[in-house]
Amino acid sequence: IEKTLSIVKPDAVDRNLIGAIYQRFENADLKIVAAKMIHMNAEKAQGFYAEHEGKPFFADLVEFMTSGPVMVQVLEGESSITRYRELMGKTNPEDAACGTIRSDFALSLRHNSVHGSDSPESAAREVAYFFADDEIF
């Protein structure tokens, strides 16, 4: 079964939305098989978002992702990568379909409440970036 890496971002943790967002995962049959709360430093966030290094929004993205604690989790399910991306909605909440997590909870393009891996390759890298094999159940 496919695994994907999910982050509940600082804006959502700050607004007490962890439970509401976890409910969306479980309602969609995306099983939480690993989870932890962490507060990333700049090095950790830069490494996570290495694909965006050099882009104009990179510094602000890293600043936001290090601004407070996040929940990081591994979600498992049939076609979990694409199904979770659909559940999140488009990156900019103004473009996100009704009923998606970003449409319902995100504040802005930057403060968009959740992250999800965008391919099998990124999912493998991102899961391993946060979790050891024996932390995934």
Instruction: State how far Cα 113 lies from the chain centre.
Output: 8
Binding mask 49-78 for ligand ATP (x = CB under 6 A): ---x----x---x-----------------
3-state SS, one letter per residue, for 67-128: CCCEEEEEEEECCHHHHHHHHHCCCCCCCCCCCCHHHHHCCCCCCCCEEECCCHHHHHHHHH
Whether 41 has a binding-site annotation, put simply, is no
CA distance 95 to 92: 5
Cβ 23 to ligand ATP shortest distance, Å: 19
Return the range that interacts with ligand ATP (CB under 6 A); candidates 30-38, 72-80, 111-119, 127-135: 111-119
By CB under 6 A, the count of residues binding ligand ATP is: 10
Binding site for ligand ATP (CB under 6 A): 52, 57, 61, 91, 109-110, 112, 115-116, 118
